[in-house]
Amino acid sequence: MSSKSILIEAESFDDLGGWILDTQFIHSMGSPYLIAHGLGDPVDPAKTCVQLPSTGSWYVWVRAKNWVSGPWEAPGRFKLSINGNELSHTFGEGDGEWAWESGGQVDLKETEVSLSLIDLTGFNGRCDGIFFTQDPKEVPNNSSEPMNAWRQEQAR
């Protein structure tokens, strides 16, 4: 792991809000994830604070899943808010597999950062992790292998 990157596992959020911990796929994913199961009503945001290694420009990645890929609008869409500012990207609209979706670049003046997962639909948004890096060439590994080597290295 680079000293200029950090992986935040979604299950480590301090306040889950209305999101719940889904553990049924640990055997295939290597970890649990958060799911926004609101039966059509958006759930309260999950929130946490993290300490980044430094201030400056950071590239943000969110591991999410669109559980109904195809011609339909993704039902499990959500946003990520950093220090009260929502990123422009909507997560959970991918191709049906777990994938790291780019949230773009943010400039942070403090090392303590507040994060919120904001459910948009109440229909099972899924978030597995958030990755911050200061290296524009560092792209998280999309391996489906449980706790793949990249992820294990980030946890150290």
With a cut of 80, say whether residue 63 has pLDDT above it. yes
Q: In 18-139, which residue ranges form alpha helices assigned H by DSSP?
A: 26-29
With a cut of 80, say whether residue 29 has pLDDT above it. no
**Once rounded to an integer, what is the mean pLDDT over residues 80-109?**
95
With a cut of 70, say whether residue 1 has pLDDT above it. no
* DSSP for residue 43: P
**Once rounded to an integer, what is the mean pLDDT over residues 21-33?**
81
**Once rounded to an integer, what is the mean pLDDT over residues 102-115?**
97
The C-alpha angle 135, 120, 36, rounded to 5 degrees, equals: 85
Could you give the CA distance from residue 129 to residue 131 in angstroms, rounded to a whole number? 7
Domain map of the chain by residue range?
A: 5-154
* DSSP for residue 148: -
**9 Cβ neighbours under 8 A, 6+ residues apart:** 31, 128, 129, 155
Query: What distances in angstroms separate CA 44 from CA 16, 105, 152, one per listed residue?
Result: 8, 25, 30
**What topology is assigned to 5-154 in CATH?**
Jelly Rolls (2.60.120)
Q: What is the pLDDT of residue 110?
A: 96
**Once rounded to an integer, what is the mean pLDDT over residues 102-117?**
97
